[in-house]
Amino acid sequence: YKGSYKDGKKHGKGVLHFADKSVYEGDFLFNEISGQGIYKWNDGKVYDGQWENNKMHGFGRLEWLDGKKYEGEFKDDKRHGTGQFQWKDGKIYKGPWEKGKQHGIGVFIGNDGRQRKGEWVNGRRTRWLDE
């Protein structure tokens, strides 16, 4: 760890290198990752956003090495709230998320640009609403 300390704990801005070669750079609050920061996993995945109690929490952007992207809200390390996910082939889902899965009324955009409104429950589309 390279950064600020307070009362012997990581506090303020810093950079933390993990044994698995992952790296976090950003805010710490009494030894915990909390605030704004960037986490780079050893597999190439990158999260840039808000943290609370060592978890992705608040607004952020998560990108995978293969081209997938999510931008939106997180809660307890999971996509939760409103967000947009883009697959590597260009397809997009915009809408609500719950505990890491699409859940509610959202919009699916095909890689041809066609938009469809639908309903998702626990990550599965249950019906189209525009037919």
Do 77 and 100 have their domain in common? yes
Amino acid of residue 38: I
DSSP state of 131: -
Report how far residue 65's alpha carbon sits from residue 88's, in angstroms, rounded to the nearest whole number: 10
Q: Are strands 101-102 and 104-109 parallel, antiparallel or unpaired?
A: unpaired
The region of weakest confidence among 16-20, 69-73, 127-131 is 127-131
Q: How many CB atoms lie within 10 A of CB 9?
A: 12
pLDDT digits (tens, 9 = 90+) for 18-59: 999 999 999 999 999 999 999 999 999 999 999 999 999 999
Range of the domain at 85: 66-131
Task: Decide: 66 and 85 in contact? Cβ < 8 Å.
Answer: no
Tokens describing residue 80 = 């939760």
Across residues 104-113, what is the average pLDDT?
A: 98
Of 58, 75, 98, the domain-final residue: 58
